[in-house]
A and B are shown apart, each in its own frame.
Chain A
Amino acid sequence: MTVTITPEALREVALTQPEYDQIVELLGRAPSPVELGMFGAMWSEHCGYKNSRPLLKHFPTTGARVLQGPGENAGAVDIGDGLAVVFKIESHNHPSAVEPYEGAATGVGGIVRDIFTMGARPIALLNSLRFGPLDRPRNQYLFGGVVGGIGGYGNCLGIPTVGGDIYFDEKYNGNPLVNAMCVGIVEHDKIMRAKASGVGNLVVLVGADTGRDGIHGATFASVENPEESHRGVVQVGNPFLEKLLLEACLEALEVEGVVAMQDLGAAGLTSSIVECASSGGVGIEIDVQHVSRRERGMSAYEVMLSESQERMLIVVTEDALPQLRAIFDRWDLHSDVIGTVTDDGHVRILDGETVEADVPASFYTDECPVYVRQGVESPAIVAARERDLSDLADVTPAEVIPTLLQLLASPNICSREPVVRTYDHTIMSNTVTAPLEADAAVVRIKGTDKALALKTDCNPRYVYLDPFLGGQHAVAEAARNVSCTGAEPLALTNCLNFGSPEKPEGYFQLQQAVLGMAKAAEALGTPVVSGNVSLYNESGDEAILPTPTVGMVGLLENVARRARIAPIDGDVLILIGQQTATLGASEYLAIRHGLVAGSPPELDLAVEHNVQLLVRSMIADGIVRTAHDTSEGGLLVALAEMLIAADTGATIALQPLLDANAERLDRTCFGEAASRITVAVPSGRVEEVLKRAFDSELNALRLGTVGGDGMRIDIAGTAAVAELRETWESGLKVGR
Chain B
Amino acid sequence: MRFGVVIFPGSNGDHDALKSIEHGLHEEVVPIWHKDTSIGDCEALLIPGGFTYGDYLRAGAIARFSPIMAAVEEFADAGGPILGICNGFQILTEAGLLPGALLPNSELTFRCDWINVRVESDRTPFTATLDPGSVLRLPIAHGQGRYVVTPQQLAELEANDQIIFRYTDSQGQEHDDFNPNGSTAHIAGVSNLRGNVVGLMPHPERAYDALIGGDEGLRILGSVVRAGLAAVRA
A contact residues vs B (CB 8 Å cutoff)? 148, 151-152, 155-158, 238-241, 243-244, 330-332, 420-432, 434, 444, 446, 559, 736
A709 → chain B closest CB, angstroms: 20
Residues in B whose Cβ lies below 8 Å from that of A736: 108-109
Check A240–B213 contact: CB distance below 8 A: no
Check B141–A424 contact: CB distance below 8 A: yes
Check B108–A421 contact: CB distance below 8 A: no
Is B81 close to A, CB under 8 A? no
**Of A151, A426, A559, which one neighbours B211 at CB under 8 angstroms?**
A559
**Of B35, B113, B206, which one neighbours A427 at CB under 8 angstroms?**
B206
Sample of 6 A–B contacts (CB below 8 Å): A241-B54, A243-B51, A427-B141, A428-B16, A446-B23, A736-B109
Check B108–A425 contact: CB distance below 8 A: no
A124 → chain B closest CB, angstroms: 13
Check B208–A429 contact: CB distance below 8 A: yes
Considering the chains assembled together, what is the distance between the CA atoms of A331 and B9 in angstroms? Answer: 7
Considering the chains assembled together, what is the distance between the CA atoms of A221 and B203 in angstroms? Answer: 40
Residues in A whose Cβ lies below 8 Å from that of B10: 156, 240, 243-244
With known contacts A158-B13, A331-B9, A422–B109 Cβ distance under 8 A:
yes
Considering the chains assembled together, what is the distance between the CA atoms of A295 and B56 in angstroms? Answer: 21
Residues in A whose Cβ lies below 8 Å from that of B55: 156, 240
Check B54–A430 contact: CB distance below 8 A: no
Chief secondary structure at chain B's binding surface: mixed
Residues in B whose Cβ lies below 8 Å from that of A239: 51, 54
A394 → chain B closest CB, angstroms: 42
Q: A156-B10, A158-B13, A422-B110 are in contact. List 11 more A-B contacts (CB 8 A).
A: A156-B12, A157-B12, A239-B54, A240-B9, A241-B54, A420-B112, A421-B111, A428-B16, A429-B209, A444-B212, A559-B211
Check B12–A431 contact: CB distance below 8 A: no
Check B110–A429 contact: CB distance below 8 A: no
Q: Which residue of B lies closest to A433 (CB)?
A: B213
Is B178 close to A, CB under 8 A? no
Check A429–B212 contact: CB distance below 8 A: yes
From 1 to 47 in chain B, residues with beta carbon under 8 angstroms from any chain A beta carbon are 9-10, 12-13, 15-16, 19-20, 23, 35
B207 → chain A closest CB, angstroms: 8
Is B139 close to A, CB under 8 A? yes
With known contacts A156-B54, A240-B54, A421-B112, A428–B15 Cβ distance under 8 A:
yes
A295 → chain B closest CB, angstroms: 20
With known contacts A424-B141, A426-B139, A446-B19, A156–B51 Cβ distance under 8 A:
yes
B66 → chain A closest CB, angstroms: 12
Check A427–B211 contact: CB distance below 8 A: no
Check B9–A244 contact: CB distance below 8 A: yes
B215 → chain A closest CB, angstroms: 11
B69 → chain A closest CB, angstroms: 17
Check A155–B212 contact: CB distance below 8 A: no
Is B189 close to A, CB under 8 A? no
Check A427–B16 contact: CB distance below 8 A: yes
B contact residues vs A (CB 8 Å cutoff)? 9-10, 12-13, 15-16, 19-20, 23, 35, 50-51, 53-56, 108-114, 139, 141, 143, 203, 205-206, 208-209, 211-213
Check B212–A430 contact: CB distance below 8 A: yes
With known contacts A156-B51, A240-B51, A243-B51, A426–B212 Cβ distance under 8 A:
yes
Residues in B whose Cβ lies below 8 Å from that of A430: 212
With known contacts A426-B139, A426-B203, A426-B212, A421–B113 Cβ distance under 8 A:
yes
Considering the chains assembled together, what is the distance between the CA atoms of A331 and B108 in angstroms? Answer: 31
Q: Which residue of B lies closest to A446 (CB)?
A: B19
Residues in B whose Cβ lies below 8 Å from that of A444: 211-212
Considering the chains assembled together, what is the distance between the CA atoms of A621 and B51 in angstroms? Answer: 43
Considering the chains assembled together, what is the distance between the CA atoms of A686 and B54 in angstroms? Answer: 54
Residues in B whose Cβ lies below 8 Å from that of A158: 12-13, 15, 50-51
Residues in B whose Cβ lies below 8 Å from that of A446: 19, 23
A427 → chain B closest CB, angstroms: 6
Residues in A whose Cβ lies below 8 Å from that of B208: 429
Q: What 4 pairs between A and B have smallest CB-CB spacing? A: A158-B12, A240-B54, A424-B141, A426-B139
Q: Which residue of A lies closest to B140 (CB)?
A: A426
Considering the chains assembled together, what is the distance between the CA atoms of A559 and B210 in angstroms? Answer: 12
Check A434–B141 contact: CB distance below 8 A: no
**Of A331, A332, A423, A428, which one neighbours B112 at CB under 8 angstroms?**
A423
Considering the chains assembled together, what is the distance between the CA atoms of A378 and B50 in angstroms? Answer: 51
Check B56–A240 contact: CB distance below 8 A: yes
Considering the chains assembled together, what is the distance between the CA atoms of A426 and B209 in angstroms? Answer: 12
Residues in A whose Cβ lies below 8 Å from that of B12: 156-158, 243, 427
A610 → chain B closest CB, angstroms: 30
B84 → chain A closest CB, angstroms: 17
Considering the chains assembled together, what is the distance between the CA atoms of A152 and B56 in angstroms? Answer: 12
Q: Which residue of B lies closest to A155 (CB)?
A: B110
Considering the chains assembled together, what is the distance between the CA atoms of A420 and B111 in angstroms? Answer: 9
With known contacts A157-B12, A240-B53, A430-B212, A424–B110 Cβ distance under 8 A:
yes
Considering the chains assembled together, what is the distance between the CA atoms of A423 and B109 in angstroms? Answer: 10
Q: Which residue of A lies closest to B23 (CB)?
A: A446
Considering the chains assembled together, what is the distance between the CA atoms of A446 and B214 in angstroms? Answer: 16
A144 → chain B closest CB, angstroms: 10
Considering the chains assembled together, what is the distance between the CA atoms of A103 and B143 in angstroms? Answer: 21
A485 → chain B closest CB, angstroms: 14
B142 → chain A closest CB, angstroms: 9
Check A426–B213 contact: CB distance below 8 A: yes
B120 → chain A closest CB, angstroms: 24
**Of B15, B51, B56, B213, which one neighbours A434 at CB under 8 angstroms?**
B213
Check A427–B13 contact: CB distance below 8 A: yes
Q: Which residue of A lies closest to B143 (CB)?
A: A155
Q: Which residue of A lies closest to B109 (CB)?
A: A422
A247 → chain B closest CB, angstroms: 9
A115 → chain B closest CB, angstroms: 16
Considering the chains assembled together, what is the distance between the CA atoms of A465 and B23 in angstroms? Answer: 52
Q: Which residue of B lies closest to A425 (CB)?
A: B112
A520 → chain B closest CB, angstroms: 32
B86 → chain A closest CB, angstroms: 10
Check B213–A431 contact: CB distance below 8 A: yes
Check A431–B212 contact: CB distance below 8 A: yes
Check A155–B111 contact: CB distance below 8 A: no
Residues in A whose Cβ lies below 8 Å from that of B50: 158
**Of A156, A332, A422, A559, which one neighbours B111 at CB under 8 angstroms?**
A422
Q: Which residue of A lies closest to B48 (CB)?
A: A158
Considering the chains assembled together, what is the distance between the CA atoms of A559 and B113 in angstroms? Answer: 22
Residues in B whose Cβ lies below 8 Å from that of A424: 110, 112, 141
Considering the chains assembled together, what is the distance between the CA atoms of A158 and B51 in angstroms? Answer: 9
Residues in A whose Cβ lies below 8 Å from that of B108: 736
Check B20–A422 contact: CB distance below 8 A: no
Check B111–A432 contact: CB distance below 8 A: no
With known contacts A156-B54, A240-B53, A240-B54, A432–B211 Cβ distance under 8 A:
yes
Residues in A whose Cβ lies below 8 Å from that of B16: 427-429
**Of A155, A157, A432, A559, which one neighbours B141 at CB under 8 angstroms?**
A155
Residues in B whose Cβ lies below 8 Å from that of A332: 9
Considering the chains assembled together, what is the distance between the CA atoms of A148 and B107 in angstroms? Answer: 13
Q: Which residue of A lies closest to B16 (CB)?
A: A429
Residues in A whose Cβ lies below 8 Å from that of B109: 148, 151, 422, 736
Q: Which residue of A lies closest to B209 (CB)?
A: A429
Residues in B whose Cβ lies below 8 Å from that of A240: 9-10, 51, 53-56
B233 → chain A closest CB, angstroms: 32
Considering the chains assembled together, what is the distance between the CA atoms of A485 and B234 in angstroms? Answer: 52
